[in-house]
Amino acid sequence: MSAAATAPAPGVASGRILGLDIARALAIFGMITVNFRAKLTETEEPAWLLRLVEQVDGRAAATFVFLAGIGVALLTRRSRESGDPAVIRSDRWLIWRRALFLFVIGLAFRTVWNFDILHFYGVYLFAIAFLITQPSNRLIALAIALTVVFPALFYVVPAQLGISFWDTNDGLHPRDLAIDIFFQGFHPFAPWFAFMLFGFVVGRLDLGDRALRRRLLVTGLLLVLVAEAVAQALLEYGGLKLAFGLAPRAAIELAAESFGTDPYPPMPLFVVAGTGWALIVAMLSLGIGERWGSRAWLTPLVHAGQLALSVYIFHGTIGAWAPGWVGYPPPQSLAWVLGYCVAFYAATMLIATLWRRAFARGPIETVMRWLTKKRQWHRAEPAPAQ
């Protein structure tokens, strides 16, 4: 990668980047839509509305993890460029402390919200801390390897362990945790860690360069179109349908699992599509933040993104419980749930804006920062003699 590609861009290496806050808010709202649909409704009508909701299924979470990769790249930029082993080690320990915090809070949250992504997120952070000084081509190769190895982890390993990929494992025994993280959870390490690796590589680039952002946006569009076109061609227009047309139904379902873009199971074409959507959301949001970031109408969305961790915990507790409290227990219609999602987004942005007027960070973000901030552990040097 050229030196120009890795040079810090104006407004990117220092301070908050409003575009990333906007992208983070959009990703969180997409995840809320998917999760509320799974938790609060069992209906799949009307079909057109279901198809609309399915467009964010898995893609929003992939964008969330991708943005985390960009964040890690920005966080470690100075230490990587300095090449100072002590500074790099300090950044690694900071990331590991945050990873541990998210892993623990995610396991606790999982007791009330079985769709939790935070404990997976902690594992991804723990892993990427080891890789922050690796060249981008190696990281891309690792991401591709994780993507292509997943089918074996899906079809072969669970059978050897005597487990089913679809039976979520929420135990706390080391074996249970390993099965959840690698073979059975909603966001298994392979291939989901690939999204963080791709985001980390993108975060190393000069994201202040508008021409580069346009190229990345076009790349994202192409990835989505190619993935969806290949899946459509194989599964709908001849291809595998013709090949398996006279085969047992199980063979047809196997083909759909292996060559689709659905997030469960997360097969290679899903990773391609998810990466494409992440690039689209990130690049558009960076452009919006650069052009309109100071506008008052955008502030609530920015604040929601800044409180993304707190919003995530809030949606899986108060947000999921509130319908039952006010007399609308699940299951409700799909249209009702989507209307509730919109109301929840509005309430979230209002609360986030009011909170940010009084506090610099969200409640969970504040706790994480206090528990994981860098501390000086060495003994202070004596004051020089006067």
Q: With pLDDT > 90 as the criterion, what percentage of the chain qualifies?
A: 61
Per-residue CA distances from 136 to 6, 195, 218, 224, 319 (Å): 10, 14, 20, 22, 39
Which pTM was predicted?
0.88
pLDDT value at position 163? 80
pLDDT value at position 55? 82
Whether 132 is in a domain gets the answer yes
Whether 284 is in a domain gets the answer yes
pLDDT value at position 249? 55
pLDDT value at position 8? 40
Work out the angle between the directed axes of helices 18-40 and 59-75 (0-180°, nearest 10).
Answer: 150
Q: Does residue 264 share a domain with residue 342?
A: no
The domain boundary, picked from 204, 236, 270, lies at 204
The domain boundary, picked from 261, 292, 323, lies at 292
Question: Which band of pLDDT confidence, cut at 50, 70 and 90, is reported for residue 29?
Answer: very high
| pLDDT tens by residue, 314-343 | 999 999 999 999 999 998 899 999 999 999
User: Is residue 379 scored above 50 in pLDDT?
Assistant: no
Question: Which residues touch 295 (CB under 8 Å, ≥6 apart)?
Answer: none
What six digits make up the tokens of 233?
Answer: 């061609």
Q: Does residue 327 share a domain with residue 247?
A: no
pLDDT value at position 254? 64
The domain boundary, picked from 174, 204, 234, lies at 204
Q: Does residue 90 share a domain with residue 136?
A: yes
Question: How many Å is the maximal CA-CA distance in the chain?
Answer: 93
Measuring CA to CA, which residue among 120, 115, 124 is closest to residue 104? Answer: 120
Question: With contact defined as beta carbons under 8 Å apart, do 49 and 333 qualify?
Answer: no
Q: What angle do CA 18, 364, 77 make, to 5 degrees?
A: 45
What six digits make up the tokens of 101?
Answer: 């915090």
What six digits make up the tokens of 72?
Answer: 């890690």
Q: Does residue 260 share a domain with residue 272?
A: yes
| pLDDT tens by residue, 215-249 | 999 999 999 999 999 888 877 654 555 555 545 55
User: Who has greater pLDDT, 238 or 162?
Assistant: 162
User: Is residue 10 scored above 50 in pLDDT?
Assistant: no
Structural domain count of the chain:
3
Residue whose pair of structure tokens reads 């999760």 in the numeric block: 35
| Mean pLDDT for the stretch of residues 95-114 | 94
Q: Does residue 304 share a domain with residue 284?
A: no
pLDDT value at position 376? 43
Question: How remote is the C-alpha of 73 from its chain's centroid?
Answer: 15
Q: 163 lies in which domain range?
A: 73-204
